[in-house]
A and B are shown apart, each in its own frame.
Chain A
Amino acid sequence: MSPAAQTPAAGGEPILVVRDLYKHFGGIKATNGVTLEVRRQEIAGLIGPNGSGKSTLFSLVAGTVAPDSGQIRFDGHEIAGKSAHAVARLGLARTFQIPALFENMTVTENLLAAAAEGRWQGARERAAETLALLRLEHVAENRASDLSGGQQKLLEFGRAVMRQASLVLLDEVTAGVHPNIRKIILEAITRLRERGITFLIIEHDMEMVRSVCDRIIVMDSGRVVTSGTFSEIVRNSEVMQTYLGRPQ
């Protein structure tokens, strides 16, 4: 049974709607008219070759970069061009392709810092729960800079959890990590979706995409090429040729 079939909310109302989104850096068309939707409580995968505009799309949605034109509607709010902190306060959390930790702070402080703007009451208890969820209790008082690469990915994911966001953007959150840590992250994503959180995940690992994503959105050259379930995507010859690099 595909993950989509197991999801009660699959096919629900959209939480994120992107329409005709353009962002050019000089002559480079990073996003060239992106249009997509992510439905509430969905786990959507975003795949595409390097340079296809996936990370730029994340930066545009999260408010790190302002778009040239287009619409981004998140949870009923028009957010195109809003600052990153304003978008985050509306309930959107993100991770970065390269972990962006608060390196001189401890693991616990990193988690608490993620809750510093927002609902502070019970933050310590939530931090303890997040440490347990991600099995980071034993390094709770270590500096973030002292963590291994995999633990850093876990911690960054944990910070997104601490935001109590309704939509979480994960940028290659399992890239290059130990299989044990990948398993912890996948389990956490599944459990958090059950609590009503929506995920949009950039990923190159097709096995992870297949195992966790309800729907896959494929980008190439700054545009959305197609979207569908994993089995639909792998039957698409255009996707197989441009992304997977082999004929159907």
Chain B
Amino acid sequence: MTTQPVKSRLPGLLLLAAVLVLLALMPLMVNNYWLRIATGALMWAGLACSWNILGGYAGYINFGHSAFFGLGAYVTAFLMNDPFGLPFLVTVPAGMLVTAVFAVIIGAPTLRLRGAYFAIATWAFAEVLIQFASAMDFTGGIGGIGLPPYLNERFFYFAMLGAAALTYLLTWLLFERSRFGLKVKALRDHEPAAEAMGINTALVKLQTFVLSAVTASVFGAIFAYWVTFINPKSVFGGDITDQMVVMVLLGGLGSLWGPAIGGVALFVVNRLMWMYWGDTAFYIALLGAAIVLVVLFLPNGIAGLFSGRRSNALEKAAGKLVGRVDEGERP
């Protein structure tokens, strides 16, 4: 929540404006094939951001995030089909509502856990949903469920762009520019101290969990309508969460733009491998290598390369030069 002078923010704002103009004009510049790739990249950038809301800002590593993506997808598929036949735009808020209810039910007990225990509990939740969706008739069982086709690539591109832009705007407002963000980051760094500051950490964690889940459900809804067919593995699968985690770690955990950088970079690499080699098996090995490299050399991700770490070191050096009260006093 530090306020930078407008002058120092100008290059960043200009870059953001240029990216937004480029994204808005994209359908006029590329063919449908590349537009589909851009749509997918926006979806992954948005999904990574939704995972980062809980994982990066609150420090709770959710390995079942695909459950919420899948819930959004299944609610849309269910409501667009007979006997409901509802319009797509009505199914999106319905999916958000259902996801929010699930998030509260799952989050209230599991957010009492930390670290690996929370990760395992959320992973188990997603696995339960896969089994449930595979076993039930109304979900189409293991064979999946189709949706009414709508063959308009531009619609899905702009839907993903709008959802991603709103997700990032919301994240920026709530986590970078508000009291709520301070509370979330405080509990991430030291939960007992945050409690001692009067912060109801159980409530703030639950609110963050629900927000993270609901944003994922929006992308699930758009995805289902876009691909016109879903099955339990395609929307609840653990590999979906795995990719979000790697994208965020590569881009920068707990940063605003890290998930966008990681999401777009990894998805585009995936598609290029498919295009030139006709196979993405090597992509899995690449993910593993990316994790190792990030852990060893980029603990703050790619976004960390552009953060204020260096200036902090410079400030410390300057502080020592002018002789502060603490000079040489570090234990």
Contacts and interface: CB of A to CB of B under 8 A. Distances in A.
Contacts of B201: 85
B312 A146 contact: yes
B326 A181 contact: yes
Interface stretch (B108-116, B144-152, B183-191): B183-191
Contacts of B185: 102, 104-105, 109, 113
A117 interface: yes
A96 interface: yes
A100 B192 contact: yes
A206 to B, nearest CB: 22
B36 to A, nearest CB: 38
Most-contacted residue by chain A among B182, B194, B199, B315 (CB, 10 A): B182
A178 B195 contact: no
Interface residues of A, number: 46
Most-contacted residue by chain B among A100, A103, A117, A143 (CB, 10 A): A117
Chain B binding surface SS class? helix
A105 B326 contact: no
A95 to B, nearest CB: 9
Given A105-B189, A178-B326, A85 B195 contact: yes
A148 B312 contact: no
B325 A113 contact: no
Given A100-B192, A108-B2, A117 B199 contact: yes
A226 interface: no
Most-contacted residue by chain A among B188, B312, B319 (CB, 10 A): B312
Interface residues of B, number: 35
A104 B188 contact: yes
Contacts of A132: none
A159 B197 contact: yes
A113 B199 CA distance: 9
A28 interface: no
B326 A106 contact: no
Given A84-B196, A113-B194, A142 B312 contact: yes
B198 A100 contact: no
Contact of A104 (B199, B200, B254, B315): B254
A100 B199 contact: no
A202 to B, nearest CB: 15
Given A142-B316, A148-B330, A150-B326, A94 B196 contact: yes
B325 A101 contact: no
Contact of B330 (A64, A89, A149): A149
B4 to A, nearest CB: 10
A100 B190 contact: yes
Given A96-B192, A112-B182, A181-B329, 6 more contacts: A62-B196, A105-B189, A108-B2, A109-B2, A149-B329, A150-B329
14 contacts: A63-B195, A84-B195, A84-B196, A104-B189, A105-B186, A117-B183, A117-B200, A135-B325, A141-B2, A149-B329, A159-B197, A178-B326, A178-B329, A180-B326
Interface of B: 1-2, 179-180, 182-183, 185-186, 188-190, 192-201, 254, 308, 312-313, 315-316, 319, 322, 324-326, 329-331
